[in-house]
Structure 1
């Protein structure tokens, strides 16, 4: 890549504060790629912050390694001590710094020689131990004694991390080859599993109980959409509840592996759905509205449940027929015993007849919402005929029963019951 020519400098020009800035961008990267010592990486970054930022943004391994930050701190401390006019400086790294580095997934024993050079009094060591089950052991050494920090089994790739002083090291984390990570709490010999991070889906499992008897209590999905809760002893944990991000909650019953959904609380309207059937074949059997005004009943196999009945707080009941998604009202029974009958497909059901407890029957014609009364048959056999639109029906003919006329010209005929659709 060509660069525009620079104007020649004059004697009055101030010298550049960053000579490296004069070099092409590509050459900067080539230089930085060749720096393989963390101390040199830190020196480059302090001499030219722009170069240090370039190295980080370019993803150069040495500059992204956690030891680069350690080298930067050491160099800054050295400069501070020098500014005070002192030549005495202890570069020994803190125990906390070395422990945090050993616990980092990016840590490598290949860098231990550099650590030993900058911190000879307190350092990290690595050696392979074991005959049948060989493992790489990392220790934190102060003199000849060292606390175990990490144990990596060479065959399986499993890595165990430890904290605590020599002789009292306790396991705090185990990293498996598949990426799963287990976290532990408790003293040496009594460490108990408290959390497990799953690599395949990013979920997290939480555990409770003493060492050796830990039981799964909660499982969180990585997307935050679902949290599952469990009960039961270790090895027999069963899911009892699942909470979703939208606020809905599902409740389960049954032993581990055959938990079945029995109830679902809906967040959007506060309703409750009840389910029946075995695990994996649960079917909706009842739905209760939050306001207590309505309860719906369902029949049919899982995934094909159809509403067959709806009961209302007023005491009225609606009956339905038809497959799922096409269930239609066919009959409505009021609390006082009046019954209305309907015909037509879902959403277009029209009232065709109404039966009253006193024996009267009313007949209707017309589309849904515009049904008009056309005939009324009383219990004594008298019949009245009507014409006109809904709400404006007028009596046009009377047929007598046993020679009697309707009292008041048919005004005593009752209207059909109001039916909820």
Structure 2
């Protein structure tokens, strides 16, 4: 029914999108119905409202875009569109027009800001021009400003795919732990990290003890780094490892009981080396010199202890009960977002560029301009890490990772998820009766 008369038949205001049956009458009926979860009327329970209506704006340019998106021959006098058709759940500055479930095939392209990038050659050209020109009357609006290169990939879409890492992950996930048996990536220095070769001083004499025994590698004299001498206070421990002194030595005793290796370094020094690699991202050449060992031994130490640490510490990544989260919620959240259950964001870790072209494209991140491994992290409002997803390629979108990582299975009706504007996941959370909070981030003001 494309005539305006169809919108006047007893349903109140109806959504103008083709094939959408949402209207105010259904909304009123839903409010008067009983909630099975809370055993009270939906009008009184904390469940999220199924949809809201938004009136077409009066601005002519915006109005034309709405009419183009709705794509109907005739429209009612007052055009309403429900929230199910907006990427952000409502008209926003980034996505002001309806784009979802429009009743016809359409290409959904989320809005994004333009990234202005200045090429190095252009900078040098402009700098050279300014240095050579002695005319003080030349203004800043010279023709070189027009050479700024703007990159806008609004119309360019990429298939979302995970990277083909040789990592095995469990199919099922429990709330007590997320990892069962994991093969870890082998970390090594990048090929562009030049080797330290033939660098010896008169004050530091090196002596190579070459052995072929299992677990024993080259030993170099002169290293001064040690847990007993360098981890004296909490500030020392936080600087080198990211944990307090008490936590560090507790981990040492835990690993000492599970030591299966025959390395020459003390367990405390081995753990310090591993945590310094993770915290400070030092190359193995540097770590070897600090601890008085070879680069190969530093690399072997790190790769040997990573699976052990993951197995011992995996139980710390636990999804907390809602009651615990509510009891520990900070005052800043209690005022504006009291029902927040988890804060999510995607983190990326640089990796070596794969030789396989498909893997290289799947792991390339436009945001980092590098090949990365990307994973979703969920944190409680008080700072406890509750969820870490498996690794995806850096090319995968935030929405794709949320959908494929199993994150949604931890959410309960009435929960609220906080994320930034890049997470367009309303359509994933709405069926679960979970609300998405996107704070208004400003440049020079606090988040409200």
Pair in the same fold by TM > 0.5 = no
- Return the structure number with greater relative CO, CA threshold 8 A, min gap 6: 2
Q: Which has the higher helix share?
A: 2
How does the TM-score come out when normalised to structure 2?
0.18
How does the TM-score come out when normalised to structure 1?
0.19
Question: Highest Rg: 1 or 2?
Answer: 1
